[in-house]
Amino acid sequence: MPTVQIRTATVQYADTAAAEALTETRGEEFDGLLRFFAASRLAFDPPLPPGVTPAAIGSMLRKEARRTFKKRLRERGLVDIERDGSQRLRVGNRRRAQVTKFAAAMPLSDGRLPLACWVAPWTTSDDALIVTGGHPQVGLAEFFGLETDDPRLTRSPSAYREEFFSLLRGVE
C-alpha cells in the first residue's frame, strides 16, 4: 500500500464566559479552561485504495483517539484522569460513534474542580471525525461557595452534558 498522509481540519471552541464570571464574582483572576469543544475531520491523501474504507481502521482510530486525548488532558494540566465508561450514540449523518468519558480534575488553589471530558471518534465512507469536549461535573457557584444568580455560574452538570451531546450530534 502506498504511503498515505492524514490531513486534518479542526475547529475549537472554548467557553470564556464562565471564567470571566468567576473572575468578576470572586474578585480574582481565573484563567482555567472550564468548558471546551473541538471537532477534527481526518482526510486521507491520496484517498484510500478501492475496497479499503475508513471503517477498516475504525478500531485503531478509536484506540489512538482515546490515548491521544488522555495525553492532551495531562498536557493541559488536568490530573486524576480516569476512563469513566463509554456509550454508543447516533451522530450527524446517521452515523454511530463510541463516546468515551474521562473523569479528570483541574487543580486549583482551593481544591480540585471535577471535569467530565469526552472523546468521540467515528468514520464515514470517505473520512473520519473526532470530537472532544469537556465541562464541569459540578455547579460552579456551589463548588466555589458563591452566592449568585449568574446563569454562567449556576448551570447544572446535566445542562453542560446535554449541551455537549447536542453539539456532538450536530457534527457532520
Task: Indicate the residue type of 47.
Answer: P
Assigned C-alpha cell, 133: 469536549
C-alpha closest to that of 98 among 82, 121, 66, 126 = 121
For residue 151, cis peptide bond before it (omega within 30 degrees of 0): no
What does the pLDDT look like over 3-59, one tens digit per residue? Answer: 778 889 999 999 999 999 999 999 999 888 899 999 999 988 887 777 777 778 888
Q: Structural domain tally of the chain?
A: 1
Q: What pLDDT does 66 receive?
A: 97
Domain membership of residue 147 as a residue range: 5-170
For the domain that residue 96 is a member of, what is the CATH number?
Answer: 3.40.1000
169: confidence class by pLDDT, cuts 50, 70, 90: very high
